[in-house]
Amino acid sequence: MTKQESFIQEFKDHVREGLTSYPKYLSSKYIYDDRGDELFQQIMNLPEYYLTNAEYNIIDKYKKDISSKFEVNGGFDLIELGAGDGKKTKLLLEQLHKDQVEFTYIPIDISKHSIDELTKSLKKKWPEMDVQGEQGLYFNVLKDLARYNKRPKLILVLGSNIGNLKHPEAIDFLNQIRELMSPQDSLFMGFDQKKDPIVIQNAYADKTGVTQEFNRNLLHRLNKEMSADFPVNDFDHWESYDPETGTAKSFLLATEPCKVHIKDLDLKVEFKKWETIHTEVSQKYDDEVVDWLASEAGLEISSIYEDDQKLFKNYTFTS
């Protein structure tokens, strides 16, 4: 089976399991086809979606500090999981370039388009920069990264992407990263912080409806890729944030009863009016929870960086 075939099979198995469960669920990782990537880009430009600017502010403020830690003889490897358009990372790349630090940049993303565009733009700006882009899902490429073991490495995971994992999965993810790390390596990761619930609620339920379209993209994909007939406009986006647990949850909410046929799965699914499909968690953190996740995975926090508005934090970890 090719990588692509096994991804499609995994997607189909997931849809069957999620839509025959009670309550129904689907994973947000399947939102991201080309259209999903484009909608997420739009989300990152929304005024309500503070995460991107906050993390940009952190990297801009501390890039010199981060760069200076890697001014080591023989250089280092900079591996980024979920690189996207690399907008924030370019700040750090620019600093490393200015400080004449020797490094290889290895951006990894599920979207081949993102990797190609990013590589092209970096080559244009800094032709001599060593960029080795790779396409793939984090969990699948992690094992292949063991080959970067000849010199120190910094692993970047920005954007609070870890927040889309439930705590046990997040520990598993951190554990897999820790297994790749030698004592001289660091992990630099973004964790969106607990804050005024209204700010979080607004970030995930914007007025223009981009987040609704992003969430609905899951159903568009099922219609396109599995010959389903979801009446997509009868599913509204619903967001609920629980300040006690720090968990923001996204749902698709059936505003009318309907019967859906997913032809390629030979599956019929009924929705009652107001029935939900849980599609995403976007976990918010505090230092205690990050410290707990890290220690469960055998990691230790070595530095904490915060933006000017105190919305977001990046942590560095060592093993």
Judged by CB under 6 A, does residue 285 bind ligand AVI?
no
Could you say which of 91, 280, 315, 317 contacts ligand AVI (CB under 6 A)?
280
Nearer to ligand AVI, 103 or 235 (CB): 235
- Among the listed ranges 60-68, 103-111, 161-169, 296-304, the one in contact with ligand AVI (CB under 6 A) is 161-169
Q: How far is the CB of 73 from ligand AVI (least distance, A)?
A: 36
Nearer to ligand AVI, 118 or 265 (CB): 118
Judged by CB under 6 A, does residue 164 bind ligand AVI?
yes
Calpha distance 256→205 (Å, rounded)? 21
Judged by CB under 6 A, does residue 211 bind ligand AVI?
yes
- Among the listed ranges 5-13, 119-127, 157-165, 266-274, the one in contact with ligand AVI (CB under 6 A) is 157-165
Q: Cβ contacts of residue 22 below 8 Å, gap of 6+?
A: none
Calpha distance 169→177 (Å, rounded)? 12
Nearer to ligand AVI, 200 or 265 (CB): 200
Q: How far is the CB of 288 from ligand AVI (least distance, A)?
A: 21
Judged by CB under 6 A, does residue 163 bind ligand AVI?
yes
Site for ligand AVI in 35-74 (CB under 6 A): 43, 51
Judged by CB under 6 A, does residue 159 bind ligand AVI?
yes
Q: Can you give the binding site for ligand AVI, defined by CB under 6 A?
A: 43, 51, 159-161, 163-164, 204, 211, 214, 280, 282
